[in-house]
Structure 1
Amino acid sequence: MAKPKTRKQPRPRAETPRGFRDYFGAEVRARDTMLARVCEVYHAHGFDPLETAAVETVEALGSFLPDVDRPNAGVFAWNDADEGWLALRYDLTAPLARVYAQHRMALPTPYRRYAVGPVWRNEKPGPGRFRQFYQCDADTVGAASVAADAEICAMLGEALVAAGIGRDDFVIRINNRKVLNGVMEAVGVLDPADPEAHAARRGIVMRAIDKLDRLGIEGVRALLGTGRRDESGDFTKGAELGDEQAAVILGFMAARRGDGAATCAALRDLVGASETGRAGVAELETMAGYLDGAGVKCLIDPSVVRGLGYYTGPVYEAELTFEIHDEKGQRRQFGSVAGGGRYDDLVRRFTGEAVPATGISIGVDRLLAALAAVRQDAEAAPGPVVVTVMDRDRMADYQAMAAELRAAGIRAEVFLGGGGMGRQLKYADQRNAPVAVIEGADERARGVVQLKDLALGARLAADIETHEDWRAQPAQVEVARAELADQVRAVLARAKA
């Protein structure tokens, strides 16, 4: 009897899940360098580092994400048999609120911390929109004055300059959620006596305003009304505001005038008798005064509302003002790379007591993309010097060369793959190696090594036809083995000159 055929298990697909990405060497190094500069600014201002777990309880995270209509309220969550519902953190602020509530008796007040790490959001991915991304935050917990908000914004400006953004290439845009709450009172979707009433509609309104840059005024208008269908056919339910109500919200978004004083006057007219709204306008004026005094270029902009649901007062964004070419080749401003605001009620969820807090979050990938756009004409960062292997039996000698170079402060590695010299030089090119070191039996007998200046060689390659020509041209030199480190350092110095 024939044996039944077993079904062959298909091979797994070698692909990254939608909304996620891989980071390679140059990207990781660029990120580490940028973050080190930013965190040095935070440290200089007296902020201390904090690392929290990637996983929190769902209750600790709360439901504050913009896309709350998606599965798991926008987070990646699972039901643990022992711990209940757990989720990957969606930002670095909600974990901070939990940490402060848990350790408040041992922490100073105000508590000033910075944090760096990946966060995860179960949102619909799209161009430039990932489900995992890095954030770099700085927060002050326990300071109620808008001076704390202004300090955060001023520090953000310093951090952007330290990262490599020009002082004239960004502006800090500020607003206040209390002003928006006053406008919502005016249109009847916020009742101070019953803050929970109309909460869903208010959330839709805030998310609609926050998408102005992406959707334009007509897209926002649709979301304020019955809803909007995007290019993929997905429908987003609107806030169901009437035309007159929507007109007030749109008027709020367009309230920016020629200067801060005129903008605040327009906002006072919009909020009418709302005490909350008028208090927000007053805070805006005070905060703008602090920033002006600190020499920070700021702009009062009512269209800044931030999508997260936990903000209670000042909100702010850092917008880069230089132009880039988009995917269609059209010129446009780069846009926002950081945002934040005041969240005075977040710790209260744990303690029942009001604890003021404010902070900023830098979108690390966004800022890295901006720096790449600024430096798009710059050459790629050099890789390590590659010591080639002419004789496999002498691997220890080649490893000794690489160790000698590293001891001299020069990044170096030995080629450990297979193949001849052509394969090894191709590898060196892929690594963007500035120099390749070659020592065969002849060179060893004479006490010398060959150094290939690969950067110069690439520029001269068009004029080289034979192996003899290659050995004769100045991109390859013969040096004493005893002078290896000094001679490699000289080649690297010429490349930088």
Structure 2
Amino acid sequence: MAKDKGPRRPRAETPKGFRDYFGAEVTERKAMLDTIAEVYHRYGFDPLETAAVETVEALGKFLPDVDRPNEGVFAWQEEDGDWLALRYDLTAPLARVAAQFRNDLAAPYRRYAMGPVWRNEKPGPGRFRQFYQCDADTVGAATVAADAEICAMLADALEATGIPRGDYIVRVNNRKVLNGVMEVAGVLDPADPERFAHERGIVLRAIDKLDRLGEAGVRALLGEGRKDESGDFTQGAGLSAEQAEIVMGFMEAKRADWEATVGRLRELAGASATGLEGVQELETIAELLEAQGYGPERVDIDPSVVRGLGYYTGPVFEAELTFEILDEKGRKRQFGSVAGGGRYDDLVKRFTGQSVPATGVSVGVDRLLAALREKGRVGTDTRGPVVVTVMDRDRMEDYQAMAGELRRAGIRAEVYLGNPKNFGNQLKYADKRNSPVAVIQGGDEAERGVVQLKDLYLGAKIAAEATHEEWKAQPAQTEVPRAALVAEVKRLLGGA
């Protein structure tokens, strides 16, 4: 008779498209987000935490390159028939909050939010289904002064985290200008906004890929389409050569200074009222920023910025890091975009039926953190705790007392709680914990009223089977009075 194998054990592996974050990574991210939060707080923004789950109806269909309502989200149906989904960004939940609590919130409502979002998309190198976002938005302010403020705040936040001036640029454009240009090109009908909507979507996504595809690739997408290196074909917008030239002219409108750029955009907008309104808004933003000391070396007008999402209705902005790194093939390239956003005046309207102006920015947390690591500007202390080793099982109270004293002095510390029989295992544990100092006190040291302190960063790595005497013989180990424990540990940590 066949023996019952019992239940199958689950595989211990991270789901595809997800990842785990450990000590130093979590600490570094928290430190960076705390720094950004300080900047946002200084500008008068309040924190907001929304639920990770929203109704699919509330989330809407705003993911880029998505045609079906539930595509791109992790969704499920409740017993009552309602569909729920994990949030795919932090903006859609804000629109719901602004509508739901509109009678309680101060207007304009200024908030920042930080947390994970989820996208049910095909994962790839550096592309995960769960990632962190860090947003700041102003809801209820129609003036473009709110957009200018977001740009200034973004520049301040980048500098606060460790990106110096000269290593970044916040680029600003206006979707109204592009709409005006597309009106001139014949792919936007002011009397029927839905007409040519599909073609405009392709145009927006094509322009947004200029850095990756180059001019030839964008031209192909504006026309019949483009085949990539793998042979996959992407359908184009079907614009004629003359129409494509007008759009490309918009992308190439950048001039030596913002005044000249605005002048060129005014020419391209022609008689389009929408386009001219957008040009005027860009001019106002530039003047407001200039008055506050944010020149073109920090924030600049750049027509090539469009942002792919369909809900933007006015100014759009993108923060790009301009320093060079080496790619996987050893080639030099700029680091690229780490933040983006813009004005989305129609998002709250979905709930209230009334137009509510809103503008905001989202920082790509993982990308910005990677940039800071690339430049060696992650200043977080990633040292592990001081480890109090256990030489005598029956003296646990003494060891806990030592750890308690260190903690009360603001020093991170812990007592080894594994099996203390093999001292080498305690040393191995301290190495894995990246501990800066180990505290050792056996019976002999206790009788003499002293402790042994081992500076693990100066001493050589100890073999797992090292004896107590071998450990004490290392030159980085010192004996100090028990009463001087806290003072000496502070000295070794550089805090005294």
Give the CA deviation at 1:86.
1.5
Which of residues 426, 448, 451 in structure 2 aligns to 1:449?
A: 451
Name the structure 2 match of 1:102: 100
Give the CA deviation at 1:41.
1.4
8 Å contact from structure 2 (residues 28, 378) kept in 1? no
Give me the whole-angstrom Cα distance separating, in 2, the residues matched to 1:14 and 1:233: 37
Give me the whole-angstrom Cα distance separating, in 2, the residues matched to 1:412 and 1:89: 38
Name the structure 2 match of 1:327: 328
Give me the whole-angstrom Cα distance separating, in 2, the residues matched to 1:112 and 1:231: 45
State the one-letter code of the partner of 2:457: A
TM-score by length of 2: 0.92
8 Å contact from structure 1 (residues 141, 356) kept in 2? yes
Name the structure 1 match of 2:486: 485
Name the structure 1 match of 2:43: 45
Name the structure 2 match of 1:157: 155
Give me the whole-angstrom Cα distance separating, in 2, the residues matched to 1:448 and 1:70: 71
Name the structure 2 match of 1:75: 73
State the one-letter code of the partner of 2:487: D
8 Å contact from structure 1 (residues 67, 73) kept in 2? no
Give me the whole-angstrom Cα distance separating, in 2, the residues matched to 1:379 and 1:109: 37
Name the structure 2 match of 1:406: 407
Give the CA deviation at 1:234.
4.7
Residues 98, 58 of structure 1: alpha-carbon distance in 2 compared, 3 angstrom cutoff: same
Give the CA deviation at 1:380.
6.5
Give me the whole-angstrom Cα distance separating, in 2, the residues matched to 1:448 and 1:221: 76
State the one-letter code of the partner of 1:149: D
Give me the whole-angstrom Cα distance separating, in 2, the residues matched to 1:349 and 1:93: 13
8 Å contact from structure 2 (residues 423, 467) kept in 1? no
- 1:168 equivalent to 2:170? Answer no
8 Å contact from structure 1 (residues 389, 395) kept in 2? yes
Give me the whole-angstrom Cα distance separating, in 1, the residues matched to 2:329 and 2:109: 46
State the one-letter code of the partner of 1:262: A
Give the CA deviation at 1:444.
1.9
Give the CA deviation at 1:473.
4.8
Give me the whole-angstrom Cα distance separating, in 2, the residues matched to 1:243 and 1:234: 23
Name the structure 2 match of 1:138: 136
Matches within 5 A, 1:106-117: 106-117=104-115
Give me the whole-angstrom Cα distance separating, in 2, the residues matched to 1:388 and 1:237: 65
State the one-letter code of the partner of 2:193: P
Name the structure 2 match of 1:13: 11
Name the structure 2 match of 1:434: 436
State the one-letter code of the partner of 1:432: N
Give per-residue Cα distances to partners, 1:252-274, cap 9 Å, x unaligned: 22221222122222222323222
Give the CA deviation at 1:71.
7.9
Give per-residue Cα distances to partners, 1:139-162, cap 9 Å, x unaligned: 111111111100111111111122
Name the structure 2 match of 1:35: 33
- 1:311 equivalent to 2:309? Answer no
8 Å contact from structure 1 (residues 71, 122) kept in 2? no
Give the CA deviation at 1:456.
1.1
Give the CA deviation at 1:168.
2.9
Give me the whole-angstrom Cα distance separating, in 2, the residues matched to 1:67 and 1:58: 17
Give the CA deviation at 1:25.
0.9
SS in 2 for 1:456: coil
* Alignment root-mean-square deviation, CA: 2.5
8 Å contact from structure 2 (residues 61, 69) kept in 1? no
Give me the whole-angstrom Cα distance separating, in 2, the residues matched to 1:127 and 1:274: 43
SS in 2 for 1:74: coil
Name the structure 2 match of 1:251: 249
Name the structure 2 match of 1:383: 384
Name the structure 2 match of 1:349: 350
Unaligned 5+ segments in structure 1 are: none
8 Å contact from structure 1 (residues 292, 298) kept in 2? no
Residues 80, 221 of structure 1: alpha-carbon distance in 2 compared, 3 angstrom cutoff: farther
SS in 2 for 1:457: coil
Give the CA deviation at 1:219.
2.9
Give me the whole-angstrom Cα distance separating, in 1, the residues matched to 2:423 and 2:228: 54
8 Å contact from structure 1 (residues 58, 86) kept in 2? yes
Residues 395, 234 of structure 1: alpha-carbon distance in 2 compared, 3 angstrom cutoff: farther
Which of residues 18, 21, 46 in structure 2 aligns to 1:23?
A: 21
